[in-house]
Structure 1
Amino acid sequence: MSTEIEYVRGDATRPHGPGPKVIAHVCNDAGGWGAGFVVAVSRRWRQPEATFRAWYRDRATSGFALGALRLVRVEDDLWVANMIGQHGIRTRSRTGASGDVPVRYEAIAEALASLADEAVALGASVHMPRIGCGLAGGRWERIEPLITRHLTGRGVAVTVYDHDPA
């Protein structure tokens, strides 16, 4: 059963709708947390950042790598999905020396496939900003089909939030 992605204006850290929910976002593989969507996540809950930092610190044995997923329960029926889909860090004003952006589409696809398994097991909908398209430098035209293939194609309801400017 396939569903459509729902697009709304609002704050992805305040997902709407009934039932269990997972807020998904893309993290980098450099251990950095402090810019982009994670700032909004950290304003609401401390657990996703603490879990990410411990996961990175223990990366030799923790499975921390591109394509990995870690779910963090933040409320009774709400989890945050830290997905490693960005190689390194960049600022909005510059890319790497070769002009490359840090997004890794294959890693995002792998993390989304794992997220689908988790969402189905939890009976959860998935909520997210336009993952991989901020500091990671990705293009939504490449991310959207990955969401369709791995999440909505498996019947997982997905809501994408476009944040209203302050």
Structure 2
Amino acid sequence: LMTIKLKGDVAAVRAAVDAGAAAAQRVGELVSAHVIPRPDDETEILIYPPPWQTKEKPAAQQERAPRRQPRARKEPSVREQMPEAEPDTREPEATADPGMAMSEDEETYRQQLRNMTVHELRRDARSVKELPIHGREISRANREELIDQLIAVKFPK
């Protein structure tokens, strides 16, 4: 989650927040957008801590370890109570990386890509060296464009 503080005319700030929310919605990462017109000055403490709270402690105070209270009786630790875990013998699952063992059928591959989030698609697109788009182009590409580009690399025509 992010909190952004903007100052200015309420209508201008609201328009800017709406534009940003629309862009975030297209990416699929928007949780909520809210404008508080003319907030009280004390609400800033909730977002940014006062300077006196962020100052570092003197070195003498940092070196002292907090005193521990001795326990009255020894309680069995959680590790002692838990049975031994068996080693994981499962085979690792195939990842959704286009270079890995994904479907060899174009339609099945397209469906697998559609089931991925835009964030996963972008991460996988960055790992494919043959992809014609790079860097910011990948960041700006929408879901369908990323899917089309990944399919074009895997199934050249």
TM-score scaled by length of structure 2:
0.21
Which structure is richer in relative contact order (CA contacts within 8 A, separation 6 or more)? 1
Whichever of the two has the greater Rg, that structure is 2
TM-score scaled by length of structure 1:
0.20
